[in-house]
Every structure is written in structure tokens, then in C-alpha cells.
Structure 1
């Protein structure tokens, strides 16, 4: 795993031990991490919570051997893994064999699609792509595909194209592919984000089975709430260091305005209407949505619920005019703006300010609103920053700003709470309120039941063919 080998004490049962004095990115003015001591024993579950930008993903990169980068970052500390001790100092950063390290530590990033090869035609092939490269016999790969798909209930996806999966389905496939390597430690960055209840249960069940087999698990998340009953250790990462979490402490992650039902919306005019609509994709064996009759009226906030793959994103794309119906009629009476599930699909400029102003006439009212929108979303200090230098929560807010600056009367949001920290959630709720206050409408998809109950006037449940 490294150029110079140091043996750990014989008989050690620790999957990985980290003693990190400090970590600082190249050209950064402050340390991202400091004074962190962690030990992961076989079968343990360690949960590390923190807001976006707190350093969770950086810590995950250190555990996975991807950080520090030689010749760039500054690091002082020690990692003990698989009988080896790796020493980092300001004078010397050892060159790590990432492939060798990955045999012991697996990392599933927040964007699970980054783990997939994107060159295999079916999910079944994707699951064993890494094992195929290692020379695993074809018969063994077949048995492994069967085992993994059964564990995570992926049988119905095995012949699907990985590039056409929903966000939740993609995360399940990536987790299954990662576990196929049987590492001693797995680091999961927001593993439940974007998953419906069935997929969430599948992931948590898989985590339980992995622990029973002796795999140590580390979960990086915004809040410990979903993990408190099962975790061996709960930590909060803030100001670059760890503090223990008190189980049952009240969560302040989100406090949007509770709406209840909207009586006024019943008599308001429809801003969006689907009549007998059928939606699907070219080459698919069946439509995603059939015979849809659905309306969203002025002043109304509506949530779309349903399992992964039932068509929530498809419906939003049709409302935004990005997908034409195969049958029926979609009528949009006002200007619509859509926030995509993956902010990376909407960001391509070199600064936040340029991103939000892209396509707006130089002397237009909309362009003049750019500083105001940035201020409302807490992005004013990042105006000249490259969007991809921002943490995940801020990147989602930048993508939201590109939509809000145009003041759409119909705001379409695809899994808007995913990756948002507490400050980001407050900004999102205020943005929703501002649209409703000017008699616009909001339609969003989500698996976050608490957010839906507090934010939406009503919930429309989708039942798909998956």
C-alpha cells in the first residue's frame, strides 16, 4: 500500500486506526481536520455527522487513502491498516498504492454514480466489473451476482442499463458493487440520501449483514438520527474536530413552515395540468407513467412520493418541458424552472456569479437580481468561487439560484433536500415560501417524509411498474 512498510503490533484486531494531528488542503488558509483519533474494530458501526463543508468527505478521503495528495496537501498523523503503519509528516507524505489500499477500505461517495464504471451495459455486469478486472472466473462471478442481487433485492434490475437507473437504484447498485470486494472497512458518504423506504431498508439490512461478517462500517451523514439505535460510536464533526454525540439530542436540522391543506388552492387556477398522460423513454419495454390525471394550482405546494423508479423525475421533466408525453396532454400555464436531482447537471461556469447570471441579458431586471438571490441563499461570499470548490450543500444552492433568479411561477424540485445541511434547508424553505407568496406553485419529489409533511399542502403518491 505504500513505499516504506512499517508493521503494526502482532495480534491487532483493529480494522483501521487513525491518529490525525492535522490536515490542510493545498493553498488553504486553515486546517480542514485536526486532532482526530478513531479506531474501527471488525463489525463496528461508526457514524460521523456534520454540516456540509465540515470536512466529512475529507475525512472519508483520508480513511480511503485518497488524501493527502503528495506534493499538494499538508498532513501530520498516522494510519494503521492491514498490519502496516503509514506515517504522514510535513516533511514526508508517503506515496500510496490506491488500488492496494482499496482492497482493505472501500469508499462509496455521496454521488454514488462516481463508483460505477459507466462502460457496462447491464447492472449484472456492473456488479462484478472490478472482480472481472482482477481475473475472477466467470462461474464465480455468476454466483457473486446472484448473492449480491438477492441480498439487496436487485434481481429486477440485473438486466437494466446502469445509465438509466434512478438515483436511489444507482446507490443500491454501487453499494452492492463495492461490497463485492469484501473490504475490511467500508466508508459510506450519505448512504440513505435519495432512497425510498424499501431501498433504505435494503441498505440498512445490507449494512447489518456486512457487520455480522466482520466488516467495519463508517457512515458520513448530516444527522445521526437514523443511526442512533445501531451505532457503536456517534460523533459530530465541527470546526475540524470530533465531539461525541448524545443519543436522543433534539435535531434542529429543519424547521420549515407547517402548511397542512390548502383550501384556497381548490378554487385557484391550475398552473400545471396532466390529462391522460403517458410518459416513457425510447427503447423501454413499458411506459413509466400511464393515464396520469394531475393538477397543481396557484398557491399550492405539492410533493411527489413513491418508490425509486416510479416516475417522479420523469413527471417533473415533463412538467418542465424536457420530456414530451407519448399520449395525453401536459399544460403549463406559467413560466417553469426546475432544479435537477444532481446539481452537477446544471453547473458549468467558472464562478458562482457567472453561473447564476448565465443566459440573462446584461441590462435585464433578472440579471440585476443576481446579488439579491445570492444573498438570500447565503452565497454572497462565494460569488467569485468556482462552484465545484464548494461543499455539496452550497453547490445545490447554486443550482437553485440559477432557477430562482428567473422568478418562475412554477418551481419544480427533484429531491431538493438531498445533501443540504441545516442552513441550506432553511434557505430552501424560504425559497418555497417566496414562490407561494406571489401565488406561484411548487412541485417537488422527495423521500424525506418529515420534509413533505411540514412543507407540502398535499402528497401525490406514484405507483410505477418497478
Structure 2
């Protein structure tokens, strides 16, 4: 079905991202691409869906990639798209429409399907994915998790024979992940080939056929399902892989409102235009020395809540206090920094170093070097932020937040795109920040990270 023979690839002539990759994928297989951040997983997905070499100028590609009887490099992209459907790591980069219904239908329109068939497939897609709440919505008003589900739906509606998924569960809640898992099981039973680049592995426990482990662009080993699931904890951690089974355990509930120290959210009402109330009289506290996790279903309003806490939007009622004193919006903007779910929105400079200098204005170079080193980014100091992998961008945004020296640090899904070692690195660094007297809040669906880093949880 998919044949990768002797492939080496670099975005320029200076460095190879992949080195002599050989892999044969049979029809109906579910293949996991795994390894540390930056190991080449996303690049491999681009080789299969044709973005490499068709959308990469001056790239260095050796070897051949074939899908059925097509050689990817010499086949038009529209022809490849008839067989291969892709869900990107950043789903926003594959949207073409303004509303959800049109986006789901867009691929089918390009395939020349009849109106009746498109309508039938759209209804089946919405029913099978349980996406009724997404119909008739403005794409720009969706949460990150909802956008991920929409991207999957738009591909599912086209019914490709090969699915290429890059971090498809990065921002999804537990319920949505289970829906995707069930759908992947059905796709596999119907003979579809599935290639998934992922860090969160537990949902694939009983789905995968083989696991392809990459390190520094080299295919180290192809594991059978039995070999992969039999990995010891020590070997798994050494390889930089996340848990293979769902983590068990619960955190204590968040402190109630009224704390004289730290951040106190008291009877807060949040919404838009006084008509759409997302939260009514929500109350909790976050104190120094602890990390508070905020979790809940996709689209419930977690990001809206923290935007209000940061002073980026007005509350409709209630108040927010710091150490017993009311904080108006202006003060909140001065005291808080938010690392967004899509960090591409807050990376502006021409290099990693310059990005840090902007945030850490006035700080000694030694301080910036220390933070970059702790996050494993010092060797990328001269690299353009947009040339980093998804996980590396995430770490850079965390570094810039730390360098801002703000009192309140809020992170929205900080572990999307992070491997095990980097997740532990981020967890350790955030714990140190909390112990140093800063208030740390994390919005996350990642239970493994939650149990590793956080002290309390607010479920909304």
C-alpha cells in the first residue's frame, strides 16, 4: 500500500531531517510513528501525503515514496488527495471555509461529488463522529479541540483509503479521544490504512499493528504490537515515549474562593455580548506553591475563562483578587501572562534568541541562556521560531513566559507536541516556578501531565 524506499530528506542541503528510511506498510495496517520531539515524525507524514516534495522548494530528497501504483514525487497532489487524507498537527492550517458545514463539504466539492451524495456523507460524518454541536458554527469561534475534530471530520467525509494523522488527540478531551478511537477501529475494520504520528499513546493500545520508532531522523526499529506493548517502563522512558496505558489517579479539588493569598476568583460570570453565558458564578482560588489544573470538555469555555482572568476580556459579573486586593483588567494584564493553545500567535521575532530578548527585556544574557538550556533549546538560539517543531515551539513559548517575570503564569494546553522527557522537563520547571512564589495555572486534557505536574484540579 505505502512503500518508502531509501528516503533521505532535508529542508535544505545543510542538515538531513530523515536518513535512509525504508518502510513497507500494508493495506489495513495501523502504524504508529513515535519518538522524541523533532525526530522526523511530521516529516514522514508529509512524505506520504505529498506535501514533500510538492510544497517544499529547494529541498533535498533522495529515494522514492509510492502509494499503491503512484510515485508521490511525480504525481499531482489532487490525485494523491483522492487516496490520502491528512489531519495536520495544527488543524487551522488546513481550513478553507468560514463555517463548519462548508468545511466538511469542501473536500467532497473538490472531488466533484453530487449535491445529494455530499449531503448524505455530511450527515453520516456528523452522526458517526457525534458532531451535532459543531454544525452551523463559525470556525473562528471553535475551541482548539473542536477544530481538531472538524479537521478529522472533513477528511472522514472524503473517505480516503489512507489516513495520515499528525498528533490527532493533542487538544482533545477524554470523551472526544474515545470517539476518535472507536472511529479508527471502524476504519481499520473496513480496510483503511492509518498512519499516526503521536506522543499520547494510551488510546492506541489495542489499535496499532506496528510502531515505528525514530530518533534523530533514523528509523531505529519497527516494533510489532506485542513487542511495543511489552516495553519496560525503563525502556519506554529512555526512548522518550509517553505512557502506553491510561494513567490512573485523581487530584484534590481546587481551593474555594476567598483566599487572602494568591489568586481568588469570586462569583465570576463570563460570556459574550450578555447573551451567551459560559460560566455563571464560578469561584475558585490558585495559590503560590501549587499548580492548578483546569480541565473539562472541548468547547466548554476553558480558554474563555483564562482569557478573562488575564484581563483580555471583561467579566459580566464577579471579581478577581490577588492577595486580597481586587484586580481591574488593566492590572490583570500587567500581572498575568498567557501561553496560548496555538503558540504560533505569539512568536514574532526572527530568531529564538530575539524572541527571548523581547520577553526578557532587561534580563542578563546568562539568565536567558539558562532558561533555554533548561528547556533544551539553547542549540536552537539562532533558528527562526517558525522553523522549530511543534513541541519546540511550545517549549519556546513557555520560556518566554518565564522570562517575562510576571506574577501569574497561565498555560493553555502546554503539552501538545511534547514527548515524555520534555513533558517531565516542563513539569519540573513549572513546579520550581510555583515554589518560587509565582501562581501557575494549566489548562489541560493531558492526564499524564496533570498527575505529574499539578497539585489540584478544577473540573468545569
- TM-score where L is the length of structure 1: 0.86
**CA 1:62–1:292 in structure 2 vs 1: closer, same or farther (change >3 Å)?**
same
* 1:102 aligned onto 2:81: yes
1:427 CA drift (Å): 2.7
- 78, 86, 89: which one pairs with 2:64? 78
1:146 CA drift (Å): 0.9
* Cα shift readout 1:250-282 (whole Å, capped 9, x = no counterpart): 232479xx9976999999733222222111234
Structure 1, 262-271 or 313-322: larger mean CA deviation: 262-271
Q: Aligned residue for 1:9?
A: none
After superposition, where does 1:173-184 map in structure 2 within 5 Å?
173-184=150-161
**CA 1:290–1:79 in structure 2 vs 1: closer, same or farther (change >3 Å)?**
same
- 188, 194, 204: which one pairs with 1:227? 204
1:133 CA drift (Å): 3.5
**CA 1:62–1:254 in structure 2 vs 1: closer, same or farther (change >3 Å)?**
closer
Aligned mates of 1:453, 1:50 — CA distance in 2: 22
Q: Aligned residue for 1:131?
A: 108
Aligned mates of 2:409, 2:165 — CA distance in 1: 32
After superposition, where does 1:25-40 map in structure 2 within 5 Å?
25-40=11-26
After superposition, where does 1:177-326 map in structure 2 within 5 Å?
177-222=154-199, 224-242=201-219, 243-245=221-223, 246-249=228-231, 250=233, 251-252=236-237, 253=241, 269-282=260-273, 285-326=275-316
* 1:402 aligned onto 2:400: yes
Which stretches in structure 2 are left out of the alignment for 5+ residues? 244-248, 324-331
**CA 1:409–1:17 in structure 2 vs 1: closer, same or farther (change >3 Å)?**
same
Aligned mates of 1:352, 1:31 — CA distance in 2: 20
1:450 CA drift (Å): 2.1
Q: Aligned residue for 2:93?
A: 114
Aligned mates of 2:124, 2:217 — CA distance in 1: 40
* 1:164 aligned onto 2:148: no
**CA 1:411–1:366 in structure 2 vs 1: closer, same or farther (change >3 Å)?**
farther
Aligned mates of 2:180, 2:67 — CA distance in 1: 26
Q: Aligned residue for 2:371?
A: 373
1:180 CA drift (Å): 1.5
- TM-score where L is the length of structure 2: 0.87
1:166 CA drift (Å): 0.9
Contact 2:9 2:16 in 1 (8 A): no
**CA 1:184–1:73 in structure 2 vs 1: closer, same or farther (change >3 Å)?**
same
**CA 1:440–1:321 in structure 2 vs 1: closer, same or farther (change >3 Å)?**
same
Q: Aligned residue for 2:121?
A: 144
1:223 CA drift (Å): 5.4
**CA 1:219–1:309 in structure 2 vs 1: closer, same or farther (change >3 Å)?**
same
1:402 CA drift (Å): 1.2
**CA 1:218–1:260 in structure 2 vs 1: closer, same or farther (change >3 Å)?**
closer
Aligned mates of 1:329, 1:114 — CA distance in 2: 37
Root-mean-square deviation (Å): 2.6
Aligned mates of 1:278, 1:191 — CA distance in 2: 32
Aligned mates of 1:21, 1:359 — CA distance in 2: 40
- 45, 53, 78: which one pairs with 2:30? 45
Which stretches in structure 1 are left out of the alignment for 5+ residues? 1-14, 87-93
Contact 1:275 1:293 in 2 (8 A): yes
Contact 2:17 2:40 in 1 (8 A): no
In proportion to residue count, which structure has more helix? Answer: 2
1:429 CA drift (Å): 1.6
Q: Aligned residue for 1:338?
A: 338
**CA 1:248–1:447 in structure 2 vs 1: closer, same or farther (change >3 Å)?**
farther
- 447, 451, 454: which one pairs with 1:453? 451
Aligned mates of 2:255, 2:133 — CA distance in 1: 43
1:316 CA drift (Å): 1.3
Aligned mates of 2:140, 2:80 — CA distance in 1: 28
